[in-house]
Structure 1
């Protein structure tokens, strides 16, 4: 099990609270590439005339879709501040981006046809957890390899693939690490969601990433 660290640090909240609003551009997810998870990642422009800058990304995911045979769906949007569901999230995680930005991830809006599954997934989310750098690096390499294979398969079929940026792949890696964190907690508790569910296991969730960097203040 990866040793992610719990933390209690108000500095990031202050940075994010002072961050400039930004323009959001939506990048469509590639379902064929991400059989396990569908994620809509958002890249954003930044304001140059403010002392602090912010980046926000949004995602919707399907947890363990391949293993569990289900495909739940949820939506998330980024307009200004945190979306409504992220004001009271089920999980909060932190990491430092390669650029040095301090980032916060909020997870929530679990949706399933089985309330028991929803409750379990909420319970196993981390709170104020700093994600392990090594786990992120490994997940990033895995996402890049997945995308390289996707590109190769598409070209072998005579199709020109959509090439995802490394920035987006890095964000997908963050969500992969968070999913693995929840999986580890489920395993530690001896919980198999397939045994809990009363039918086909479908579980949708939403995630939001918000980053900020101080620039000399």
Structure 2
């Protein structure tokens, strides 16, 4: 709740005063440049309604475009000292049809000794028809991504440690408690799980690797998406 200035009436209903205060806060204007940045960004998150939401503080451009990173049962709330880390994992009980013959399989060992298998596929090209005219798209990006996945080592040459270090400085993760307050979690807080952090970094590394390959081919990534499924052992839950 913000502070009350001398110019504000003192007899306003508290809830109404809060609404008025929020309405008066400055809003970042959506310029042509911002619209371009929004359209240029792509997401390849696998949508799954059964996975709960992790609230992530991200830059304005990303927050306007991308859905929140989904990791567990919708609407979950935990106390900081009692986070159910099992809700951050999505171990599929059955591979989807496309994942039976995926374009790529990424396997990795977690800091805690567990291991994961991440399957990638269902690459699609579906650009936003309402994107700004200056945002380039190219349907060849989908086939180039499939070919890249099928080469084998998707994460070759990708520095996972650098991705983790960057996320620690740029991301602020919060969980909403039952009373509506926000509790931080992640590296540098009392609620931290190295396996969860590493698993997130691997998925981010896939995005980095695809973008790097497309850039090398002179192809844009706008309009590109793919799906993933994972099975991990030796993790919480």
TM-score (norm 2): 0.48
Q: RMSD in angstroms over aligned alpha carbons?
A: 3.8
Aligned residue runs from structure 1 range 131-142, under 5 A: 131=155, 135-142=159-166
Q: Distance in 2 between matches of 1:182 and 1:161?
A: 33
Structure 1: where are the runs of 5+ without partners? 1-24, 46-54, 59-77, 152-158, 194-200
Distance apart, 1:188 and its partner CA: 3.0
Distance 1:86-1:56 versus aligned 2 partners, 3 A rule:
farther
In the alignment, what sits opposite 2:233? 212
1:172 pairs, out of 186, 200, 218, with: 200
Q: Is the 8 A contact 1:89 1:106 kept in 2?
A: yes
Q: Does 1:160 align with 2:178?
A: no
Q: Distance in 1 between matches of 2:199 and 2:58?
A: 15
Paired residues, number: 147
In the alignment, what sits opposite 1:57? 90
Aligned residue runs from structure 1 range 1-217, under 5 A: 26-30=51-55, 32-33=57-58, 35=62, 38-42=68-72, 44=86, 57=90, 78=92, 80-113=93-126, 115-125=139-149, 127-129=151-153, 131=155, 135-148=159-172, 160=182, 163=185, 166=193, 167-193=195-221, 201-212=222-233
1:192 aligns to what SS in structure 2? coil
CA displacement, residues 139-186 of structure 1 (integer Å, 9 cap, x when unaligned): 1222232223x66xxxxxxx7366465443332211111122222222
Q: Is the 8 A contact 1:56 1:208 kept in 2?
A: no
TM-score (norm 1): 0.52
Q: Distance in 1 between matches of 2:105 and 2:151?
A: 5
Distance 1:94-1:192 versus aligned 2 partners, 3 A rule:
same
Q: Distance in 2 between matches of 1:28 and 1:104?
A: 22
Structure 2: where are the runs of 5+ without partners? 1-49, 73-84, 128-138, 175-180, 187-191
Distance 1:134-1:118 versus aligned 2 partners, 3 A rule:
closer
Q: Is the 8 A contact 2:106 2:153 kept in 1?
A: yes
Q: Distance in 1 between matches of 2:225 and 2:145?
A: 10
Q: Distance in 2 between matches of 1:210 and 1:127?
A: 22
From the two aligned structures, give the one with the greater strand fraction: 1
Distance 1:127-1:102 versus aligned 2 partners, 3 A rule:
farther
